[in-house]
Structure 1
Amino acid sequence: MNQKKRLKPILFVGTGSDVGKSVINAAFCRIFKQDGYHPAPFKAQNMSLNSYASAEGLELGRAQAVQAEACGIPCLSAMNPILLKPTSDQKAQLVLNGKPIGDQSARDYFLKTDREFLFAEAMKAWRSLDSRYNPIVMEGAGSISEVNLWDKDITNMRVALETGSPTILIADIDRGGVFGSVYGTIKLLPEAERKLIKGILINKFRGDISLFDDGRRMLEELTGIPVIGVIPYFRDIHIEEEDSVVIDYKRGSTDTSKINVAVVLLRYMSNFTDFNMLERMPEVNLYYSANPTEIAKADVVLIPGSKNTISDLIYLRERGLAKAIIQAAEAGKGVYGICGGYQILGEEIRDPDQVEGDLEMMPGLGLLPVVTTLSKEKRTVQTRFRFQQQKAYGTGYEIHMGQTRLLGGTPLCTLEDGSADGCLVSPKLWGTYLHGILDNRAVVEEILKANQLQAEVAHFDYNAFKEEQYNKLADHVRACVDMDQVYSVLDGERSC
């Protein structure tokens, strides 16, 4: 382990949801790495449909996997010991220490789960990281001023108290009301928690930052806490997002000057980061849509993963999207499904154990000769694979509940252990369980070739691109933050 001076852990919390905690956390993960430390991320409880498989074969939120990548270390389930994956408007699957332990309603989760047990499990995971890494860069969830939820808290200020962590409060100035949100958040906190707030970080500032000099001074006078930085809004740094709220900014339509790739916008879409590499290619216009007309205009149609495949199948039929997907395939356009999208393209989805709901069977779109049977057991694994008959291995990961049996076609991929994955009907029509398959250059090249589309894939190294983005993000944040102040609050005796 790096022999740099031992630092206290640091916790980033927010005045609300979507203020930029995950990205700021990733920035500090990379900054500490650049400065010679050996950091690791941690979020006690996360709610997201965008998850990742660790090398241990366990599941965690995608944001913590991204933050681990920014740290330059493999991700571990301990970095996100409690993960909630919504399966409907009222229920979510509870994943504890990387493994699902059942579905619960929001009411049951907050009122009937043993909060002490969950918090103890979270802290056990935290200690396992703290013994190996320095410092632990932690992220809270939502707003810390939800006073009605304080007694249920297992991820915000209770973590700060337990670990003795200096805490930085992040506020999003772009949404307005920054003075009220910062002042109100701090003043609502009990005194012991308020004392742990060591800095305020103003995020997503547009325009001339010097115009906020008076505002910065006023905030410090109002709260008695230093404003350690004002981070300008950016659009030229691309970090994988976790919350599907970002999809609202990615909805779009066709662009006749580019290759148009439509991602069908499902209600319970998961792992939308599967399409990040395509999105970064300058010749590609990748957009998300639930409009059948826009799906029909695309050159390539992608059906993403889903946390509730049967519900999304019903949704596709109700919106006319099922017909648009089938017509795209009949017109000879490329149609490809990943995980839940693979299941949707098949002949039938069976749910004898009612994993997803009351329906025990639902016809699929009938484009792939496969039948899926859902099960209570979840497969969570990182893997290497050979795509079609290629010799080189690619990398991906699986997170799914259920097994799919081929009735025809051929397997799409051969996994490293010799087993098969997916179903290939033609180069223009296939499905796979492999998340991340489109991050592999050879796969994208084959899709473009099959659809007679031209793009410079060979010169785009997605892994190198991501490393460049982490460094750009770190430089951007470092330039706007008083790092001497940050290190001063992380120095000294640890209280945990």
Structure 2
Amino acid sequence: MTPGALLIAGTTSDAGKSIVTTGLCRAFVRRGLSVAPFKSQNMSNNSMVCAGPDGAGAEIGRAQWIQALAARATPEAAMNPVLLKPGGDRESHVVVMGQPAGRISSRDFVDGRRHLADAAYAAFDDLRERFDIVVAEGAGSPTEINLRESDYVNMGLARHGSVPTVVVGDIDRGGVFAAMHGTVALLEAADQALVAGFIVNKFRGDATLLAPGLAQLEELTGRRVHGTLPWDPGLWLDSEDALDLEGRRTPDGSAALKVAVVRLPRVSNFTDVDALGIEPDLDVVFVGDPRGIADADLVVLPGTRATLSDLAWLRARGLDRAIREHAAAGRSVLGICGGFQMLGRRIEDPAGVEGEVGAAVEGLGLLEVTTTFAEEKALRLPTGTALGEETSGYEIHHGRITRHGGQEFLGGARAGNVFGTMWHGSLEGDRFRAALLREVAAAAGRAWTASGVSFPERREARLDLLGDLVEEHLDVDGLLDLATHGAPAGLRALEPGASR
């Protein structure tokens, strides 16, 4: 078949682009097609390592990694050729084709990004040659008219590849009809010619009440509504950049163990704790002050994109003292990557990787390690054994660890019931997670029985549920026809403010 592509844009950020893209990847691959997800540029501190050329690691956005699983494809750097990792309010670290590529400031957002667009277009063209269908996800809204000239994620990509585009709107926010109409109307004519339809997301209620509005939207715009996805609580996927940090609570508050995850300002890869969220006998809460960890059995310090500044934040709130007191009482602490580095003796930044050249601060002193930041980023997919169980993970860090004492633990260190690891994702290993929770329970004097739930199986079940919902509620065959044959000719051009 002719290689096809479809762009899933949205009326706003968090409209449901990732959900729809993921669901279509699963629906299309069920039809026997080879499918690749794609996002020209992702802005997120939640990333993943996949295998790169010559065995090297490559870093991509977590969402595209999940979408590759939905498509039953091997994740690769071309699926997210540009990744921006915010390191502050006005600056981001840049990853191009899986490798670090300097920094970009908000001043450069319009100018100085031509090389990023070139990398994105080359990756898209490459995927399109190798797969039957490329399902591309946009970013934010395609109608950011102040940024259109430099856009290569939304209509810039669509124009580059003559990619038909479908706009997703979140009806739960209200104003979805105006948002959909306005998204098309504010685009220039050549962009409008590629916007072929709409998808409504997160609908609750009686579909017959929605039908007249959908019919009128089609009449006003001359474009099809390709379906309405219902709101479903089971659609939770591995968290991405929406910062769904409200925790996972047991229904009746009778959990055997409580886990308090410190909500760092620059938290990254917080999907590390998603696997704890599926455990039926855990309360997992995110906290920002000492009171939140007072009754916790396990305190988790997650990864961060700014270890030094987040450590200062921790101290300013008295969380450093609370964590040390928690550990002194014999209860458990787990630090992951940047969180692990905070638990050590000292953190040094001779090259100014995080800001000031030569910066150095004392850590919490709970583990006998020193961290030294290096300019070269480590990207690895390690495997090993801890607590008697085999497990695996992924490493994304500039910090180099020197261990002065204590036990080795998953690329990190352990002292009593304080654990530090450089491995993200290790808790997704079911047997290792159960072994760690047994240690936590024993330290707390609590009973603990492994639940037997499987995180990989839960993830696959969620992807199948999403695929089922897409099959049931969207016109998958119509969207596939759109992807393979392009946007229909003669789509009506809308003028801003026009109703007909």
TM-score category (smaller protein): over 0.9
State the partner residue of 1:32.
28
1:88-132 CA-to-partner distances (Å, cap 9, x unmatched) read 111110111111121232113x1442x332211111111221222
Q: Distance in 1 between the 2:234 and 2:485 partners?
A: 37
Aligned sequence identity (%):
39
State the partner residue of 2:80.
80
State the partner residue of 1:240.
238
State the partner residue of 1:355.
353
State the partner residue of 1:417.
none
Q: Distance in 2 between the 1:92 and 1:256 partners?
A: 42
Structure 2 CA distance for partners of 1:477 and 1:307, relative to 1, 3 Å: same
Q: Distance in 1 between the 2:486 and 2:332 partners?
A: 59
* SS at structure 2 position matched to 1:74: coil
* SS at structure 2 position matched to 1:160: helix
- CA deviation after TM superposition for structure 1 residue 251, in Å: 8.3
* SS at structure 1 position matched to 2:32: coil
Q: Distance in 1 between the 2:300 and 2:349 partners?
A: 24
- CA deviation after TM superposition for structure 1 residue 178, in Å: 0.8
Q: Distance in 2 between the 1:351 and 1:61 partners?
A: 26
Q: Does 1:132 align with 2:91?
A: no
Contact 1:17–1:141 (Cα < 8 Å) also in 2: yes
* SS at structure 1 position matched to 2:235: coil
State the partner residue of 1:107.
107
* SS at structure 1 position matched to 2:453: coil
State the partner residue of 1:418.
none
Q: 1:3-152 alignment to 2 at 5 Å? A: 5-56=1-52, 57-108=57-108, 110-113=109-112, 115-152=113-150
Q: Distance in 2 between the 1:65 and 1:308 partners?
A: 23
Q: Does 1:449 align with 2:445?
A: no
Contact 1:444–1:457 (Cα < 8 Å) also in 2: no
State the partner residue of 2:380.
381
State the partner residue of 1:330.
328
* SS at structure 1 position matched to 2:355: coil
Q: Distance in 2 between the 1:291 and 1:493 partners?
A: 53
Q: Distance in 1 between the 2:456 and 2:239 partners?
A: 16
Contact 1:296–1:325 (Cα < 8 Å) also in 2: no
In the alignment, structure 1 segments of 5+ residues that lack a partner are 414-420
CA RMSD between the two structures: 1.9
Contact 1:209–1:232 (Cα < 8 Å) also in 2: no
The AA in structure 1 aligned to 2:89 is D
State the partner residue of 2:492.
none
- CA deviation after TM superposition for structure 1 residue 133, in Å: 1.4
Query: Which of 422, 446, 464 is the equivalent residue of 1:433?
Result: 422
Q: Distance in 1 between the 2:153 and 2:134 partners?
A: 14
Q: Distance in 2 between the 1:455 and 1:467 partners?
A: 26
State the partner residue of 2:210.
212
Contact 1:346–1:368 (Cα < 8 Å) also in 2: yes
Which structure 1 residue ranges, 4+ long, deviate > 4 Å from structure 2?
251-254, 453-456
State the partner residue of 1:313.
311
Contact 2:5–2:484 (Cα < 8 Å) also in 1: no
Count of equivalent residues? 478
1:202-259 CA-to-partner distances (Å, cap 9, x unmatched) read 1111222221011111111121111111111110233112114322x43889945442
1:56-105 CA-to-partner distances (Å, cap 9, x unmatched) read 20111100001001111221111111110011111110111111121232
1:371-410 CA-to-partner distances (Å, cap 9, x unmatched) read 000111100111211114x3x5322100000201011102
* SS at structure 1 position matched to 2:276: helix
1:119-166 CA-to-partner distances (Å, cap 9, x unmatched) read 111111112212221200100000111100001101111101111211
State the partner residue of 2:494.
none
The AA in structure 2 aligned to 1:445 is A
State the partner residue of 2:457.
464
Contact 1:354–1:360 (Cα < 8 Å) also in 2: yes
Structure 2 CA distance for partners of 1:165 and 1:455, relative to 1, 3 Å: farther
State the partner residue of 1:416.
none
Q: Distance in 2 between the 1:398 and 1:370 partners?
A: 18
1:299-345 CA-to-partner distances (Å, cap 9, x unmatched) read 11111000000000000011122122111111111101000011011
State the partner residue of 2:493.
none
Q: Distance in 2 between the 1:33 and 1:493 partners?
A: 19
In the alignment, structure 2 segments of 5+ residues that lack a partner are 489-500
Structure 2 CA distance for partners of 1:250 and 1:310, relative to 1, 3 Å: same
Query: Which of 462, 482, 488 is the equivalent residue of 1:489?
Result: 482
* SS at structure 1 position matched to 2:474: coil
TM-score under structure 1 length normalisation? 0.93
* SS at structure 2 position matched to 1:408: coil
Q: Distance in 2 between the 1:158 and 1:360 partners?
A: 41
Structure 2 CA distance for partners of 1:205 and 1:103, relative to 1, 3 Å: same
Tell me which moved more, 331-340 or 236-245: 236-245
State the partner residue of 1:369.
368
Q: Distance in 2 between the 1:235 and 1:6 partners?
A: 37
State the partner residue of 2:413.
423
* SS at structure 2 position matched to 1:324: helix
- CA deviation after TM superposition for structure 1 residue 456, in Å: 4.9
